[in-house]
Amino acid sequence: MNPLHVVILAAGQGSRMKSALPKVLHPVAGKPMLHHVVDTAKQLGAEKIHTVIGHGADQVRASLHDDSVNWVLQTEQLGTGHAVAQALPDLPDNARVLILYGDVPLTRKDTLEAMVSDLDDRNLALLTVDMDNPHGYGRIVRNDQGQVQAIVEQKDATAEQQDINEVNTGILAVSASHLKSWLPTLSNSNAQGEYYLTDIIAMAVDNGLSVTVSQPLNPFEVQGVNNRLQLAELERWYQRQQAERLMTEGATLADPARIDVRGELTIGNDLWIDVNAVFEGKVSLGSNVVIGPNCVIKDATIADGAEIKANSVIEGAVVGANAQIGPFARLRPGTELAANTKVGNFVETKKAVVGEGSKINHLSYVGDASLGRNVNVGAGTITCNYDGVNKHKTVLGDGVFVGSNTSLVAPVSVADQATIGAGSTITRDISEGELAVARGKQRNISGWERPKKA
Ligand code: UD1
Ligand code: CA
C-alpha cells in the first residue's frame, strides 16, 4: 500500500475564541486540539504529518516536538486549497493524502481508516454529514444517480443548493499526484475570493474519479471548534464517552456527568467512583478501588482495594493494596505507599517510601523519608527535610513509634522499634529499641497565684 501522508490545516486565526492562545492549542481533555489530531494521524500509521501553520506559528510549533511532524508555513491565509498547496513540495507523488483540521480534534481513527484503506488513484474519499441546519457549510451536490458532482460553499450556493442538508466536513483523502495536478489550477474567483480546496471535487469528477462518501458514527467526530461554547460541547461529549467506557469496564460512577478524564485511565473491576473525580496523565486503578468525592489524581498507580477518601490530591504516587488515604490527604511525587498503609487528613507526603502497615494519620508533613513496616507517626509530626539550602533524609526503621508533635530534623535515622516521646525535636540518630525524649522539662510550681487586674 502507498504511504499515508496527513496534512493538518491549522493556520487560521480563530478570532472567535477571543484568546491570545492559538485556537488549535486550546485543550480538550487536557490536551491541545492539534495534539489530538496528530495522535490520531499517528495511530493511522502516517509516514509524515504535515501541519500547515500561520497565525501563532511559533507558539504552535513550540507546543510539539515530534520527528513525524513537518511544519509548513502559510504566511497568508488565502483559503483551504492554498493551505494544502503549501505542503505539496513535501508530499511524495505516490502518497495517499488525508486532509485533517487542527480544530476538529475528535474524529475516530476507525472513521478515517475506512476512508484511506481503499484509496487509490481512481477515487477520492469524502467525509460528509447530514445537518438539520446546514447554514455556513459547503453543500454536497449530487446528480440524479446520487453521485457526488461538486461541493458548493454557502456563499456561492444557489437558493436550491442551500436546501441541501448533506454538508462537507472538510475531511477528505486523495492521492498526492492528483493534488499536484489540481491545486495549482485553483482559482479564487468566488464569493469569498479564496482558493477553495472543495473545488477539487468537481475536478476529480471531470477526471473520471469516483467520489467515495462516508459518514462518521457521531456528528461530534467532525465538529470543529470556532468558539468556547463549541469547545465545551466537545469536551462534554468526550467525557461522556470516557464515563461510558469506564462503566462498561467495571466502574460504578456516582454520576457519569461528574467525572473528568484528562489522559489515560485504566481500571480493574468493581470500582466505585464518587462525584467530581478528576484524573490526569497516566492513572491506573486496581479492582475494588474506591474513590471518594472531589479527588484529583494525576500520574498515579492505585492498587486493588485501596480507598481514596474525599478531597484527596494525589500526584506521581504509588498507593499499595488496601491502603486508606484521606480525607484531605495530599500525596506528592515520589510517594510510594506499601499495602495496608494509612495516610489520614491533612497529611502531605513527598518522596516518601512507606512500608507495609505503617500509619501517618493526622496533620503531618513527611518528605524525603523512608519508613519501615508498622511505623506509627503521631499527629503533627514534621520531617524537617530542608535546611534552607539542601534537602536531607529521614529514615525510620520497622515498628518505630513517633509521638505526636515531633520534629525530625534531617538527616536523622531512627532504628527499628525505637520510640520517640511526644513533642520531641529529634536531631540525633536513635538506636534500636531506645526511647528518645527531647523536650523542655516540666516544672510544677505549687502555690502559684494568677495575676490580678489592677
Ligand atoms: C470549510 C469548507 C466547507 C466545510 C467546512 C467545514 C472550504 C472552501 N470549505 O469551510 O466546505 O463545510 O470547512 O467546517 O474548504 N485554514 C488554513 N489556511 C487557510 C484557510 C483555512 O489553515 O488559508 C484552516 C482554518 O484554520 C480552519 C480550516 O482550515 O481550521 C477551515 O477553514 P475555514 O476558512 O474555517 O473554512 P470554512 O469556511 O469553515
Ligand atoms: Ca470553519
Ligand in closest contact with the CA of 80: 1
Rounded distance from Cα 212 to ligand 2 centre (Å) = 23
Nearest atom, ligand 1, residue 12 CA: 26
Nearest atom, ligand 1, residue 153 CA: 11
Amino acid at site 110: D
Q: Is the CB of 372 under 6 A from ligand 1?
A: no
Region class of 269: left (phi > 0), else alpha (psi between -120 and 50), else beta? beta
* Probe residue for ligand 1, chosen from 15, 74, 80 as the CB with the greatest number of ligand atoms within 8 Å: 80
Which residue's C-alpha comes closest to atom 25 of ligand 1?
12
Which residue's C-alpha comes closest to atom 3 of ligand 1?
138
Ligand in closest contact with the CA of 79: 1
Structure confidence at residue 170 (pLDDT)? 98
Residues of the chain with CATH 2.160.10.10: 228-436
Ligand in closest contact with the CA of 75: 1
Q: Give pLDDT tens digits along the chain (454 positions).
A: 899 999 999 999 999 999 999 999 999 999 999 999 999 999 999 999 999 999 999 999 999 999 999 999 999 999 999 999 999 999 999 999 999 999 999 999 999 999 999 899 999 999 999 999 999 999 999 999 999 999 999 999 999 999 999 999 999 999 999 999 999 999 999 999 999 999 999 999 999 999 999 999 999 999 999 999 999 999 999 999 999 999 999 999 999 999 999 999 999 999 999 999 999 999 999 999 999 999 999 999 999 999 999 999 999 999 999 999 999 999 999 999 999 999 999 999 999 999 999 999 999 999 999 999 999 999 999 999 999 999 999 999 999 999 999 999 999 999 999 999 999 999 999 999 999 999 999 999 999 999 999 9
CA distance 275 to 190: 52
pTM exceeds 0.85: yes
Cis omega (within 30 of 0) on the bond before 27?
Answer: no
Ligand in closest contact with the CA of 137: 1
Rounded distance from Cα 11 to ligand 1 centre (Å) = 10
Only one residue has cell 513537518, namely 70
In CATH, what number does 228-436 get? 2.160.10.10
Q: Is the CB of 83 under 6 A from ligand 1?
A: yes
Rounded distance from Cα 80 to ligand 1 centre (Å) = 5
CA distance 88 to 174: 13
Return the H-helix or E-strand segment holding 420: strand 419-420
Rounded distance from Cα 124 to ligand 2 centre (Å) = 21
Give the number of residues written for the chain: 454
Residues of the chain with CATH 3.90.550.10: 4-222
As a whole number of Å, the end-to-end CA separation of the chain is 100
The number of beta carbons lying within 10 Å of the beta carbon of residue 256 is 16
Q: Is the CB of 195 under 6 A from ligand 1?
A: no
- CA-CA distances (angstroms) from residue 111 to 41, 105, 198, 251, 381? 12, 13, 20, 28, 56
Nearest atom, ligand 1, residue 167 CA: 12
Q: Catalytic one among 5, 35, 135, 362?
A: 362
Structure confidence at residue 1 (pLDDT)? 84
Q: Is the CB of 141 under 6 A from ligand 1?
A: no
Structure confidence at residue 124 (pLDDT)? 98
In CATH, what number does 4-222 get? 3.90.550.10
Residue 55 burial class via C-beta count within 10 angstroms: exposed 0-12, middle 13-18, buried 19 and up: middle
Is residue 55 part of the annotated active site? The answer reads: no
Q: Is the CB of 148 under 6 A from ligand 1?
A: no
